[in-house]
Amino acid sequence: MDNAISIEKGKNALEAVKQTADVKTKTYIGMGSLITAINGLQPDTEHYWALYVDGKYADKSIDAYIIDKDTSIEIKLEKIDFSKMG
């Protein structure tokens, strides 16, 4: 799905995603915001919303990515795989 949007430089990726969908998050101290639901869809206990930025698995929370250039943000419902998580 290609939902290209324009967002002011300096905003974070969560703010960008919220322009295209109803996004619910939970903020964890020391980690940042993690997506818990998109448009009312919540993952079961074996899945989560995986974040990819410019085609790579995210290494920080969605609100920690500051948009300062053209950026591709993908959010995919994936099975929990602890080997991907740092």
Residue 58's closest CA among 14, 5, 8, 10? Answer: 14
DSSP 41-52: B---TTEEEEEE
Residues 51-68 have pLDDT tens digits of 999 999 999 999 999 988
Check residue 2 and give its pLDDT: 59
Domains of the chain: 13-79 (2.170.130.30)
Q: Structure pTM?
A: 0.82
* Token reading at 2: 């290609």
- What are residue 2's phi and psi, to 5 degrees? -110, 105
